[in-house]
Amino acid sequence: MTLREALLEAARRLEAAGIDGSAGDARALLAEAVGIARDRLTLHLGEDLEPGAAVRFAALIARRAAREPVAKILGRRVFWGREFEVTADVLDPRPETECLIAEALAGPKPLTLLDLGTGSGILAVTLLAEWPEVRGVATDLSDAALAVAARNAARAGVAARLDVIRADWFAGVTGLFDLIVSNPPYIGVDEMAGLMPEVRDHDPRLALTDEADGLAAYRAIAGGAGAHLRPGGRLMVEIGWRQGAAVADILRAAGFEAVAVLPDLEGRDRVVCGVWPVLSRGIAP
């Protein structure tokens, strides 16, 4: 069997399993099985598939047919042009999260940033890689996730500028920051059963849901952010596409100004941001 024949057969199997984007997934997994860069695979499709590679490919396709995400199978994901390690201990980064990165980079460059619930570290690591003079702190409740974030920071060359600490939101976090970012768990507990298997069964539950209405994290973050932001500092959070108005109200109630709800590339609410007042709670500018 040639690589082309194996690829077509695998794509048909994934399509039959109800996998969207089956052809692309099959191509990514075939490239992994044969040890060829995905963008070079076309040049080799006429070659025979060696027995060892055939066994590896079959195993990879079986995992994908069982609805395991490609990123979790490969152990990596490209985000904002950089490759990140992805494991079962962290959320699989979504393309829409890049909207938060774009908005952060469009604003003033901070001296310090805080990433709450960092997971794989994509927010803190990406921003520090884009801002070479900035220092950051990344927190998470999961020691396993923090280990992944630390490795991703090292891979991107920003480990010396990022402190990775175990914390429940602001607990144990000291100092003031110019920018706080977070992609917190925002799925309501009653929505969990309706998630795609790739998400529900392969992302850590702690990163998906607050076991309540999906807004608990925003209340905690907005309520504690003012004590950790410099006057004029920014808070930016990713949200579920139906949560824009509710999260904006939470930020306003916590004292934030210039609160805005920003869309993703499909026009759905995706990021809420706010500015901590220059004069607030007796803090001088």
Task: For residue 21, give its domain range.
Answer: 3-66
pLDDT tier at 148, thresholds 50, 70, 90: very high
- Residues 258, 125 share a domain: yes
Give the residue, 33 or 285, on which the prediction is more confident.
Answer: 33
Look at residues 182, 151, 148 and name the one whose alpha carbon lies nearest to residue 168.
182
- Residues 102, 32 share a domain: no
At residue 279, the pLDDT reads 74
On whether residue 212 sits in a domain, the answer given is: yes
Q: Provide the domain count of the chain.
A: 2
Buried b (16+ CB within 10 A) or exposed e, 50-66: eeebbebbeebbeebbe
Look at residues 195, 199, 198, 200 and name the one whose alpha carbon lies nearest to residue 64.
198
Per-residue pLDDT tens over the stretch 241-284:
999 999 999 999 999 999 999 999 899 999 999 999 997 544 43
- Residues 38, 153 share a domain: no
Mean pLDDT of the chain, nearest integer: 96
Residues 154 and 201: their CA atoms lie apart, in Å, by: 29
Q: Determine the average pLDDT of the residues in 117-137.
A: 98
75, 86 contact by CB (below 8 A):
yes
State pTM to two decimals. Answer: 0.93
252, 258 contact by CB (below 8 A):
no
Per-residue pLDDT tens over the stretch 215-250:
999 999 999 999 999 999 999 999 999 999 999 999
Per-residue pLDDT tens over the stretch 106-116:
999 999 999 99
At residue 284, the pLDDT reads 39
> How wide is the angle at C-alpha 103 spanned by C-alphas 99 and 108, nearest 5°?
160
Q: What's the DSSP call for residue 50? A: -
Per-residue pLDDT tens over the stretch 179-195:
999 999 999 999 999 99
At residue 16, the pLDDT reads 97
On whether residue 198 sits in a domain, the answer given is: yes
- Residues 161, 45 share a domain: no
- Residues 41, 100 share a domain: no
Q: Determine the average pLDDT of the residues in 189-210.
A: 96
Tell me the CATH number at 165.
3.40.50.150
- Residues 216, 142 share a domain: yes
Residue 211 buriedness (CB in 10 A; 0-12 / 13-18 / 19+): middle
On whether residue 285 sits in a domain, the answer given is: no
At residue 285, the pLDDT reads 38
- Residues 240, 114 share a domain: yes
Q: Determine the average pLDDT of the residues in 125-140.
A: 98
- Residues 143, 54 share a domain: no
